[in-house]
Structure 1
Amino acid sequence: MTGRVLLVRHGETTWNRAGRIQGWADATLTEEGREQARAVGSHLVDSHSVDRLVVSDLKRTLETAEVLRAVGIGADSERARAWRERDFGDLQGLTRTAIATRHPEYHRGGSLLSVRSVAGGESLPAFETRVREGWERLVGEVAAGETVAVVTHGGPIRAVLAEVAGRELASLATEFSPSNCGITEISVDGSGSDVVLRDGTDHLPA
């Protein structure tokens, strides 16, 4: 019998709305972000039996998890640093336009996640290793028939998808950015992992 991991991106934050790069910097949820969290929480209660709730230890994910528990997710929050967003160092707090102006090597329409090194931040290989180790640890703990919800960020979600699909993260990161409170569902068993749903958003308000 397979287990299931539900990767949930946090709700919209004030910096998301302003188009600012967050990384490890903390920003609070907007009211829309709280509404998104309530919607995904209600969907999880109605459609899944969540046995564990693993949460990145940054403010926006912890706030999202609090809303999930408020609407009925019964599992206690387990904080896990491995599920943090990538540390974008000196770029944190800047808009993509400002970054493109100051650093011509960064394409304004591209994914910062695919940039290999960032001044004052975390290299792409270090980020990939951190998330991969967290993912492997989690998969090793998932029991048959168990459902684990992980409240995390866009970067780690794409890193896990790249790992499961055997693809380069730098390439996959250019294809899409996970939606706030979108769900990516992955089935796991002894033979491996399979993506069941990528960034599902049907549960979110229009």
Structure 2
Amino acid sequence: MGTILLCRHGETPWNRDRRVQGWAPTELTDRGREQAAALADYLADEYAVDRVVASDLERAAETARAVSRATGVEPAFDARWRERDFGRMQGLRYGELFGTYPEYTLSEVGYAAAETTPESGESLLDMWGRVTAAFADLRAAVGADETVAVVAHGGPLYAVTGELKGLDVVAAVLDQEQGNCAVNEVRVDGAPGDGARAAALVRENVTSFLAEATSQENY
């Protein structure tokens, strides 16, 4: 069976300040770098990582570089694993965004919020589509005995784990958690190249290897 390890990046200043990051080139905090190092050691100790794929946004790329140093595997960057593009809403605090623009609040307006597109950004459904397409390609291609670590963001991880659990977009975001540097283990059965290969989520939001409690931001 192939194994896909879906990982979130380490803490950033905007995570800590509860700001919407979108595609901002935010770097990790000192704590985030410690988390990334702990993630890297955990993956190197617990798995034989053959391949590393990452979002090209700086916070994910920095985390992936830590994984690369621990595993000896150079990361390949794929923009499809980026967080949702919030356009001009990027940088707002969560309270400012959801208080001033309730049309983006899943808990208030439900599915309609997932369809709403910020100016110069993308809807939650747009992000969902590109991420699940990236995962489908990876699921079809992962080798029978290969382990691939993916370093991405909260939103993309909600998309994939939600799809694997049969959740709709609202429940996938509101009813799940993904801490900074959380690990989700997916097992893939069947022959490589088969687009219909079965995939099962066997572990999710694993953060027990971190010395401290992690941030639980959605974006």
Quick check: TM above 0.5? yes
- Residue 40 of structure 1 corresponds to 39
- Residue 53 of structure 1 corresponds to 52
Residue 3 of structure 2 aligns to a residue whose secondary structure is strand
| Equivalenced residues, count | 204
Structure 1 regions of 5+ residues with no counterpart? none
1:9-158 correspondence runs (5 A)? 9-70=8-69, 72-107=70-105, 115-120=114-119, 121-158=121-158
Residue 64 of structure 2 aligns to a residue whose secondary structure is helix
CA deviation profile, 1:115-158 (whole Å, cap 9, x unmatched):
32132211222212101110011111100111000000011111
Q: Distance in 2 between the 1:199 and 1:48 partners?
A: 16
CA deviation after TM superposition for structure 1 residue 59, in Å = 0.5
TM-score (structure 2 length as normaliser):
0.87
Residue 134 of structure 1 aligns to a residue whose secondary structure is helix
**Which amino acid letter does the alignment assign opposite residue 44 of structure 1?**
L
Contact 2:106 / 2:114 at 8 angstroms: preserved in 1? Answer: no
Taking only the aligned residue pairs, the percentage that are identical comes to 41
Q: Distance in 2 between the 1:29 and 1:110 partners?
A: 31
TM-score (structure 1 length as normaliser):
0.92
Q: Distance in 1 between the 2:180 and 2:53 partners?
A: 17
CA deviation after TM superposition for structure 1 residue 24, in Å = 0.9
Contact 1:111 / 1:174 at 8 angstroms: preserved in 2? Answer: no
CA deviation profile, 1:80-124 (whole Å, cap 9, x unmatched):
011101111222100011113322444497799963213221122
Structure 2 regions of 5+ residues with no counterpart? 191-196, 213-219
Distance 1:176 1:166, change over 3 A: closer
Contact 1:96 / 1:108 at 8 angstroms: preserved in 2? Answer: no
1:193-204 correspondence runs (5 A)? 193-204=199-210
